[in-house]
Amino acid sequence: MTVLPTSLPADLSGLSSAELLKLERAIARRHSGHFPWFMVIWAYLNIAVWLALWPLTILGYLPLWAAFPIAVANMTLVYLPTHDAQHHIIGRPGTRWHWFNEFLGHSTSWIMVTPFEVLRVTHLDHHRYANDPVLDPDIATSAPNAWQAILRSIRNKAGHDERNAAYGASLERHGRVDLMLLALAYDFVFLAILCALAWSGYGLHAFFLWWLPIKIGFIPIDFYLSWAPHHPADAMGRYRDTRAFRSRLGNLWSMGMQYHIIHHLHPYIPLNRNPAAYREMRPLLVARGCRIDGL
């Protein structure tokens, strides 16, 4: 049995790159490999709340104006457990829980109207090519400042679609025409459901519980998952393309993204373990010259 170091040497300056990496991986291993109950409960509680909004509003138990902000929060919150599944964090390939990892990914991503495999292929390209002006599918969220980032996110959702084009290019590079067609099918089925609901007299429900919440709910996702941790998106490389940062809204309201650098370095650590891993790994990140802006 391998005994992992529980604390770092006081002086890291004499260590080689390989020795630093070994220490980094030892910390990462301590925070991974457990079944992430927290993320699983998050995923299904969130989707259960969103599904419950429909009968509650249709039967008049909850006014639509009260359900709308909840639906927006549901859309913001749905991405992160799905994101963990994209990285096989719920269950590694070859383990007894891998089927559940895939099930969680598929069973939650449909409410975002994007196939799980599309999210996975494009997101792994983001990890592979973070900040690459051509190959990073998320480069379409980069902007010189926070307000410009929000504006760009809104423009993308209003049909300017730089990000969709980047996702399409990523799928094309991987030869995944099947996923492009699947994404189109999702889009058309969604349109058909919206139209059917609207002409059946439930247009306002479809608008305020699903269509508009997707648009609004993904602005914070673009901001905190894509823009903030990679800003100014001008550097590439393992210890350069992502930063730690102190969010004005705190870690909870920025969905744990203050510690996104840990996710890029060790994407198999569950989201809720990133802060603890960061605290242990911080001296190593400093030694590597990473940006740890105020955190």
Residues that bind other proteins (CB under 8 A): 155, 158-161, 184, 191, 194-195, 198-199, 201, 203-204, 206-207, 211
In the complex, the smallest distance separating the C-beta of residue 255 from other proteins, rounded to whole angstroms, is 27
In the complex, the smallest distance separating the C-beta of residue 45 from other proteins, rounded to whole angstroms, is 29
CA separation for the pair 42, 153 (Å, rounded)? 25
User: CB of 269 within 8 A of CB of 277?
Assistant: yes
In the complex, the smallest distance separating the C-beta of residue 249 from other proteins, rounded to whole angstroms, is 27
CB nearer to other proteins: give 200 or 246: 200
With vertex at residue 104, the alpha carbon angle to CA 101 and CA 106, rounded to the nearest 5 degrees, is 110
Beta bridge partners of 292: 244
CB nearer to other proteins: give 118 or 284: 118
In the complex, the smallest distance separating the C-beta of residue 152 from other proteins, rounded to whole angstroms, is 13
CB nearer to other proteins: give 160 or 238: 160
In the complex, the smallest distance separating the C-beta of residue 92 from other proteins, rounded to whole angstroms, is 38
CB nearer to other proteins: give 66 or 195: 195
In the complex, the smallest distance separating the C-beta of residue 198 from other proteins, rounded to whole angstroms, is 4
Those residues whose C-beta lies under 8 Å from the C-beta of residue 227, and which sit 6 or more positions away, are: 141, 142, 143, 146, 149, 153
Distances (CA, A) of 202 to 49, 68, 126: 19, 14, 38
CB nearer to other proteins: give 39 or 206: 206
Those residues whose C-beta lies under 8 Å from the C-beta of residue 84, and which sit 6 or more positions away, are: 36, 39, 90, 270, 271
CA separation for the pair 212, 75 (Å, rounded)? 10
CB nearer to other proteins: give 65 or 250: 65
Distances (CA, A) of 225 to 79, 139, 191: 10, 12, 27
CB nearer to other proteins: give 108 or 141: 141
* Beta strands at 292-293 and 244-245: parallel, antiparallel or unpaired: parallel
In the complex, the smallest distance separating the C-beta of residue 162 from other proteins, rounded to whole angstroms, is 11
In the complex, the smallest distance separating the C-beta of residue 158 from other proteins, rounded to whole angstroms, is 5
The full DSSP string for 178-245 is: HHHHHHHHHHHHHHHHHHHHIIIIIHHHHIIIIIHHHHHHHHHHIIIIIITTTTT----STTTS--EE
Phi, psi dihedrals of residue 169, rounded to the nearest 5°: -65, -40
CB nearer to other proteins: give 146 or 196: 196
